[in-house]
Amino acid sequence: MTIKLLINASYFIVAILFIQGLKGMSSPVTARRGIMWAGAGMVLATLVTFGWPGMSNYTLMVIALGLGGGLSAWSGTVVKMTDMPQMVALYNGMGGGAAASIAAIELARGETHGTVATSLAVLGGLIGTVSFSGSLVAFAKLQGIMKKTFHLPAQNAVNVVLAAVAVIAGAGIVAAGPATTLQLVVFFLVALALGAIITLPIGGADMPVVISLFNALTGLAVGFEGLVLNNPALIIAGIVVGSAGTLLTQLMAKAMNRPLTNILFKPITGEAQVGGTGIAGTMKEISALDAAAMLRYAQKVIIVPGYGMAVGQAQHKVKEMSVLLEEAGITVKFAIHPVAGRMPGHMNVLLAEAGVPYDRIFDLEEINGEFSQADVALVIGANDVVNPAARTEKSSPIYGMPILNADQAHNVIVVKRGKGTGYSGIENALFYNDNTRMLYGSAQQVVNEVIKNIKELMA
């Protein structure tokens, strides 16, 4: 009894560490500290679990921790910042898969038959499996292993049918008695298919929201399995992750002005879309020298980073350029859209890595009113988040989504790798505006050329 009390007291400390860590991660200034707090909580929860009464298989536990910890430490060290979104999706999927595995083992044992725990195990297994397969599809799409979109005929009908079959199979496990092998195989295979098929059509600006949604589902599944095992650490971790992920998903969906149902059932697919009326005008190219001159003699510049900056690994060059402009007396600010990049906070992470001061980085609500006062809006690899069609083109998939008002700047320079529509597949009306000039090439190479020309102009 004393040991169990000590373990539960330790789990209470773990809860405090998790909550403190989550609070720290809410701000870039304290994010590193928050990660350390949460990490300390996870280490404590893992170590304390070794002392749980009746625990066995210590050798397998140590081997599993060594393999998992070693692999994650290595991958976390070598991963490129451009690959961070897919790593987040992959790790999130592993959490869902772990919860589903716990459910499968408990249901196969049959010891919880006829109890609430059976229902919780089924719910956790369903949600965890959907998160697992959906996150793996998201990883494959972001990594370029899978085509950006794959839309089944009657996609939504297939989703509904699979969900109904999964629920019926789960209800059968709860009601009919100890689960048979066939029941478990059917249940988990249908859940795997559901998660994958829901995610296959999703691309573009919807992907960060979907990753956040799967994060919330993983937390929910872990919480359910914690109740099944009567393990406070799993319950606490699941509640914290699930609630935080749910809140973040809601905030991001609101930022896009797209209900979650639209994101799942009417996704931005990534297929080329121009809009119902087409776009008038032509894209006008600019040289690095002319772009440098436009920036050098501006009074206010707003930089809008997007995934193209991440792909080109240009964040350090962008920071160098901003410092040069500030030394010339030019006001420089960074504008971040909530869904810029491929995961929540992607651009903030890149800019923080490059050392851009936090007080230069502004969210959409803070910066949007200043674009009309900016001499130059420099858009680096962003598409949907600056597309004016979101305001005017009702046939566009992003119609109604709040955007950064880059088009309202006196001049707009867009750094873009080519003339294609990009990841989302939606043509951008901004690129055809009279005040917009296109600067083609890899972001790092292009910004480096601009920096050289700015230095010559300042000499």
Mind listing the pLDDT tens digit for each residue in 212-233? Answer: 899 999 999 999 999 888 888 8
Beta strands 300-305 and 361-363 are unpaired
Active-site residue flag, 384: yes
pLDDT of 199 higher than 70: yes
Rounded CA-CA distance 126/304 in Å is 40
Residue 156: pLDDT band by 50, 70, 90 thresholds? confident
Spell out the domain ranges in the chain: 1-68, 83-271, 288-458
Residue 307: is its pLDDT beyond 60? Answer: yes
Q: Cβ distance 50 to 275 under 8 Å?
A: no
Catalytic residue among 375, 384, 407, 434: 384
Burial of 334 (0-12, 13-18, 19+ CB in 10 A): buried
CB 354 within 8 A of CB 279: no
Distance CA 373, CA 364 (A): 15
What does the mean pLDDT of the chain come to? 86
Average pLDDT over residues 299-308: 93
pLDDT of residue 277: 43
Neighbours of 129 (CB within 10 A): 29
Position 286 scores a pLDDT of: 94
Q: How confident is residue 53, by pLDDT bands cut at 50, 70 and 90?
A: confident
Mention every residue, 6+ apart, whose C-beta is less than 8 A from residue 50.
58, 61
Residue 115, pLDDT > 80, answer no
Own/partner pairs for 169-176, CB < 8 Å, 24+ apart? 170/122, 170/123, 170/125, 170/126, 171/122, 173/107, 173/118, 173/122, 174/118, 174/119, 174/122
What per-residue confidence (pLDDT) applies to 274? 44
Examine the pLDDT at 76 and tell me if it is beyond 90: no
pLDDT tens, 242-290?
Answer: 988 888 888 888 777 777 777 777 666 555 444 444 576 788 999 999 9
What is the rounded CA–CA span in Å between residue 28 and residue 427?
A: 33
Q: How many secondary structure helices (H) and strands (E) does the chain include?
A: 17, 6
Reported as a pLDDT band with limits 50, 70 and 90, residue 184 is very high
Q: Which of 53-62, 189-198, 423-432 has the lowest mean pLDDT?
A: 423-432
Question: 284 and 401 in contact (C-beta within 8 Å)?
Answer: no
pLDDT at 149: 65
Which residue did the predictor score with more confidence, 272 or 443?
443
Instruction: Answer yes or no: are the C-beta atoms of 404 and 362 closer than 8 Å.
Output: no
**What per-residue confidence (pLDDT) applies to 424?**
59
Single-letter amino acid code for the residue at 406: A
CATH number for 288-458 (one of 3.40.50.1220, 3.40.50.720, 3.10.105.10, 3.90.25.10): it is 3.40.50.1220
More confident residue, 353 or 380: 380
List, in sequence order, every residue forming a beta bridge with 412; answer none if it has no partner. 377, 436
| For the chain, percent of residues with pLDDT exceeding 70 | 93
Pick 335 or 267 by higher pLDDT: 335
